[in-house]
Structure 1
Amino acid sequence: MKSKSEIMDIINKLDDHIADDFEAQDLDFKQWNDRSREDNVKTMISYAVCMANGGGGSVVFGVADKVKGKDLALKGIPFDIDATILQKRIYEKTDPHITPSFEDLFVQDNKIRLLIMHIFPGMPPHTTTDGAATIRQGKDCLPFTGTLRRQMVDITGQMDYTEEIIYEDWKTLFSHSAMERVREIMSRERVDETLISLSDEDLLTAIGGLKGQHLTKGALLLVGKPEAISKIIPQHRWSFRKMISDTDYSHRDDGTQPIPLALYELERFISVDNPLVTIESGLVHPEFNTYPTIALREALLNAFGHRDYRMLGTVMLKQYKERLVLTNPGQFIGGITPQNILHHPPVARNNHLMDLLDRLKLVNRSNLGVKRIFKSLLIEGKEPPLYREVGNNIELTFIASPLEQSFQKLVQQISMKGVPVEVDHLLILQYLMRHEQIDTSTAGYITQRGTEQAKELLSGLMKNFDLIEPIGRGRGRYYTLSRYAYGLLQDSLRYERQQHLDKEAVKTRILSVLKDRDLTNAEVRQITGMDRRQVNAIIKEMASEGVKIVGHGRGAKYTINK
């Protein structure tokens, strides 16, 4: 928004410029319509919506914006216009309500009255009560379509609600218990001691949460008193439900505490029913929760850090007997979808809040949070998380999978080879544990990778780790866990059974072709992926099914008694 002195400086330049030259994202000039006062009110309502959606700004009424020369451009407005009535009309005709502030500016020896309408940043989308909405983009008010809204949030970052400054005494908003919790987390994450040793004020200033003795909204979400947050950011809320069924619950709790304290409360509720499994291993008996602490913490911080604070709603955690469901207001942004979230470059709706969380070591901004969630589950043999976009909310589900001790030992054994085990590898191995076979297309789908990348992953698991074996070739090729992998899983009988099933499948494939035509050894090798020796061996086994060799040498063919 522009001050009266800034606007006066522009007016003094109108002998050499037109007002349109100075219009910008936060400033516009409009000529007063002397023929219809009602049309002027409609224009004010429209510009109030436009500016509120576009981050706020000022509109100066009484100036012709395309006319050069101060005497010609300064048209003015009637002296009997009551700004209080205008303010009331704009409030009544906007949804959510917009309350502008007005200032008079008298020029040309007080002979001409200009009226400045200041619009504060709103929580888009604002519309007129008729449903119309525009948004300020540069000098223009454009229709505020869904696509434009998403593009604005995703690309320009002009609507970072958490970066806004709260012009109140920060000490009256500050929670010592929240700051104590922040310092505990910083200490646990081994943050630089020089940062931890700073006073509360210096620490908040150092991370960018305190600017000129005023907190940002992002900082308030971290260290604010619950009552202050409820007053200034009423959208912030967390809820917990212990669910009996999809419609009933046995326990509920809600709060408006700052994020670090909300995190503590939600983890505490989950821990009541997050069973531990103890694994005896020498003198050390490690314990494993049904829902790994790392996965829970990362998921909750992502929910608070990425939720849309312009929307009413709550970060909701529902605990069912067989699953956890976490939802937060807001949709995926920046091209992120449930199908590419694992590898998509990081995109933040609330850049300022995420910066604060990153500097305090509560989150990592290098897109590691989602991978940590996946890996902490997969490495224990548990099912991967499920992301969905449900209406205007993002939903994350954890399945209450049991600890697979044998799979965990397999991961430990291959980690000792010095080759890093990536999330993609774990996803493929977990899929094979449950489905026994995987092809390139399926590998690409579950790892959110392209076909060529999926081929490289499968090749790496085969050559670097000796964990999978190929069956067949060409489009019909698929992979199974290797004998070595089943050995690490202490399930060699399962491997033998799988090998038997695979051999039977190969025999069925050969027989189906032989019913139509004879086959050479080379053709069988192409169909099955076997070598010459393996083909000869399986053909001998199929003699009882009427398969025989006709001819000798290169002219030899396999046929079936018909």
Structure 2
Amino acid sequence: MDTQNKIKTMILKESETLELKKSTSELKEAIISISSILNKHQKGEVYFGIKDNGEIFGQDISDTTLREISKTISDHIEPKIFPKIEKIIINKKSCIKIEFHGKDMPYFAHGRSYMRVGTENKQLTVKELENIILHKNKENLRWDNQVCEKASLKDVEKEKLLTYLKKSGLAYSSIKDSLERLEVLSDKKILNAGVLLFTKNPRKFFKSAKLRCAVFLNNDSSIILDRKEFEDDVLSLIQKAQDYVLEHINLGMKVEGLYRIDIPEINIEALRESIINAFCHRDYREYESVEVAIFKDRVEIRNPGGVYGDITLDQILKGQAPVERRNPLIADLFKRISFGEKWGRGIKLILSKEPGTMFKSFPNGFITIFKRKETTKKSSKNKGVGKGVGKGVGNLSVNELKILDLITENHKITKKEMSRILTKKIVEYNIESLKFKGKLRRIGPDKGGYWEIIK
């Protein structure tokens, strides 16, 4: 009786979770609405005997009517649901109320799938249906929280684990207990994220666990000056990627007191954040590795796997994107040791430090592009740097400084002798660069001549 009194004063209006039907002659349409609401909200209500404007119309109802509704729902909605179907009285008129719920999306009505949009039922496209299935199975489809069947506790390098625990402020008890505390162990089996961070050789288990770096002569990849590949745990690879870039880009210099301070042409915080993002958010199911490509006019940080989830790069750049992470366990492990910002905020940090940075996202990859800066004019403020070669050097790369140091020690040193320390291409490229910048010139022939550093 109380329920009926409440219904007497209730004003019903169609919404994303409520559907009104004049009579059970519209049962087929109601079935579609039920599946549509389930796919959007996982629960809802349908009333028969009420017009879509909320007017109570009523209808004749028998036990057979209720059984037929139940059977029709059972026959035409997949997966099966078990709704509550009851006869109710509203304003002295008989109506039917159906309450339903379910989380086994996607639901199909008469063999098709729909999504509630306002008070309408929109048939889903193949892509939209695929996204629902992926979202539903997101945890099962994740890579970082899966067990690595081939790895065991014997593969864990204790020193790597101890270093990580110290950085994260956690105490060490045993390898097993420590991994369990970090949530990278399941039934004595190491999860993929744990293998990446703590094993002796992660690439033994995952061929994609590597870093590729290259320096190119011009603005394209036609001539390679240097190329290296690194294999290690993911934290070490992040450091190696950063070191490689800093070794091959220009360094500005300033003197504070008696000390020289190097200023890379690309902000270190922005560079490091982009490298961390590449390893944290990459798709580890893809065979390709994270790549660092250094061109004459730019530096690119590339990783397999584009922007993850239903968000777009444009939404991220505008700050409109909800947090969706491809590898949340890896991200949490990074966060414990203050590696990286939250997804979306990392890009904001990069842009705050390097406003000209560009980003490109593809279905199978993501690229961060830093513009390289023009070499600045020499400055008298840089006197007294290094071994006497740093006077007014302006912006020079690490390799250029190495060559100047070698020449300072032996001004008759040959390119061949330098190539025993650096590669032939690096020597040739950087000597030409130093000549172009007005820092170096050759006096006399190749044999019998010498180098002169221009102060």
TM-score by length of 2: 0.49
As a proportion of its length, which structure holds more helix? 1
As a proportion of its length, which structure holds more strand? 2
Identify which of structures 1 and 2 has the higher relative contact order when contacts are C-alpha pairs closer than 8 Å and 6+ apart: 2
